[in-house]
Structure 1
Amino acid sequence: MTKPPSALMLVLQLTCVVLTICLTALATDRQTAMSSGGGIIYNPDAPTFALPRDALDSHDVPFSNHSDSKPFGSYLQQTLDFTRFADLFKAINATVGTLQSRGEAHITVVTPPEYDRVLKPAGVTIEEIEDIARQCGLQSARLQPVCVGRFSGSLPHPMSEADNGAFLLYSLVVADVFGDLAGIRQEVFKLYRKKGGEGALFQPEGFWPHVTLGFDRRDLFIEDGIYKGSNYCYAPIHTTK
């Protein structure tokens, strides 16, 4: 016999629905502008790349758990079907020829540094974050591709000698136009504050969804000084059947 959902779970589900409706109605100027191409500056010599229309549809992709006691081993991601991104990676690599691929595709929703440095010290567990994500329908989040992003150059502040020199990184910049992922981060923030967390340390809106496609040395992050919003756009992208 199926166990009925608890009152807490029902409240959480209702909260996610209400929050999603509000975020859908209001949207954010940033994401709306991104999805429509407003304000995006492409490289003048960049080609236009293609992406399958269903590439960001992950409702049929199993949820992937990332919980590890090692430093930066726990985080939350929306798991995608890598096979739908393989041709895009090949097309980009054909113009460069030196990129590495992880062989998987995902969108990080709560980053390892956010969890290890902020959420975990406040008593928020990765299991609680994953429960929120499941109740809010993480794998059914509705997203739109914006552009192919690229970083080509040296880091502004290398953390070590190993980070000296040039880097090359490509990603698919994504718009959370219905606020599905933002809603999950808002619920995580509420739990964090409920447990006494300092609000200034976790910004739920500080989030630039993207899919890492390939890199020559390693992936790059905000901690490296790299932001992956519309500012990161290099080339246009169009969807195909």
Structure 2
Amino acid sequence: MAGMQALPRNVLLAAVASILSAAALVLVATIFGGPSGLGSRPADDGGIIYDPGAPTFTLCAGALDSHNVPFTSHSDERPFGSYLQQTLDFAPFEELFSAVNASAGTLRTRGEAHVTVVTPPEVDRVLGPAGVTIGEIEAIAARAGIQRARLSPVCLGRFAGTLPNPATKADEGAFLLYSLVVADSFGDLVGIRREIFKLYRAKGGEGALFQPEGFWPHVTIGYDRRDLFIEDGIYKGPNYCYAHIRLAT
């Protein structure tokens, strides 16, 4: 210490700063860069956790481009018959279904592909009672160019299990369901939902009942018993990811 006290003050302060900086770097490396332990971090993959035994599936690169696919209207007056969707070409998804079903072996497909943008329960239970019609919803979607909405694949999602709270005896037991989880890459679809929300609020709708961002876009690929929804306790976001998707060029 006597030697350090003999040093000029500015030199002493610089030395102390260097020591503290080196110690901080060691601490950061220990917490964030260690090979194991509580502080180690995997490579940044957006927080997605895949099944380590799942294969990688391939999807045609243009599968999510729907600008040349005609819009499909769903305006049935029966309960849960009205909803809004972005319609996709089924052919590339049929190929993905075949690849998935080659291992699952028990799946059914609807024979069409789409991304639901406004769900039947949202129309029947929230928007409709406030006076928002499916015609008005579709008009907003048409003005926004719903068939040109830009999507990108995230992963293949899978649910293989029992429902947390089966509504009926028929819903007891195991289910198997696969979907392509997609990203609304530029906010095109959530933008449509926000415009619908504006109309809903203008008609006196209670804001707490419709969340424009409460939206998990996906394409149903196949299922063994029936499709499953949020009402069943199933959320189809990145949490649902099972396998990687590779785009075929």
3-state DSSP class of the match of 1:85?
Answer: helix
Q: Which residue of 2 aligns with 1:128?
A: 136
3-state DSSP class of the match of 2:63?
Answer: coil
Q: Which residue of 2 aligns with 1:86?
A: 94
Do the aligned residues in 2 keep the contact of 1:78 with 1:107 (CA within 8 Å)? yes
Q: Which structure is higher in RCO with an 8 Å CA cutoff and minimum separation 6?
A: 1
3-state DSSP class of the match of 1:167?
Answer: strand
Question: Which amino acid counterpart does residue 232 of structure 2 have in structure 1?
Answer: D
Question: Which amino acid counterpart does residue 236 of structure 1 have in structure 2?
Answer: H
Q: Which residue of 2 aligns with 1:27?
A: none
Q: Which residue of 2 aligns with 1:96?
A: 104
Structure 1 residue 186 displacement after superposition: 0.2
Structure 1 residue 87 displacement after superposition: 1.1
1:38 to 16, 27, 46: 46
Do the aligned residues in 2 keep the contact of 1:37 with 1:146 (CA within 8 Å)? no
Work out whether 1:76 is the aligned partner of 2:95.
no
1:190 to 198, 204, 210: 198
Identical positions, percent: 73
Question: Which amino acid counterpart does residue 56 of structure 2 have in structure 1?
Answer: T
Question: Which amino acid counterpart does residue 170 of structure 2 have in structure 1?
Answer: A
Q: Which residue of 1 aligns with 2:168?
A: 160
Work out whether 1:239 is the aligned partner of 2:210.
no
Matches within 5 A, 1:144-183: 144-183=152-191
* Length, aligned pairs only: 206
Distance across 2 between alignment mates of 1:73 and 1:88 = 27
3-state DSSP class of the match of 1:174?
Answer: strand
1:224 to 204, 224, 232: 232
Q: Which residue of 2 aligns with 1:113?
A: 121
- Alignment RMSD, CA only? 0.8
3-state DSSP class of the match of 1:152?
Answer: strand
TM-score by length of 2: 0.82
Work out whether 1:141 is the aligned partner of 2:155.
no
Question: Which amino acid counterpart does residue 61 of structure 1 have in structure 2?
Answer: V
Q: Which residue of 1 aligns with 2:7?
A: none
Deviations 1:121-175 (A, max 9, x none): 0000000000000100100000000000000000000000000000000000000
Structure 2 unmatched ranges of 5 or more: 1-43
Work out whether 1:65 is the aligned partner of 2:69.
no
Do the aligned residues in 2 keep the contact of 1:77 with 1:109 (CA within 8 Å)? yes
3-state DSSP class of the match of 1:90?
Answer: helix
Question: Which amino acid counterpart does residue 221 of structure 1 have in structure 2?
Answer: F
Question: Which amino acid counterpart does residue 156 of structure 2 have in structure 1?
Answer: V
Larger Rg: 1 or 2? Answer: 2
Structure 1 unmatched ranges of 5 or more: 1-35
Structure 1 residue 177 displacement after superposition: 1.5
1:213 to 210, 221, 226: 221
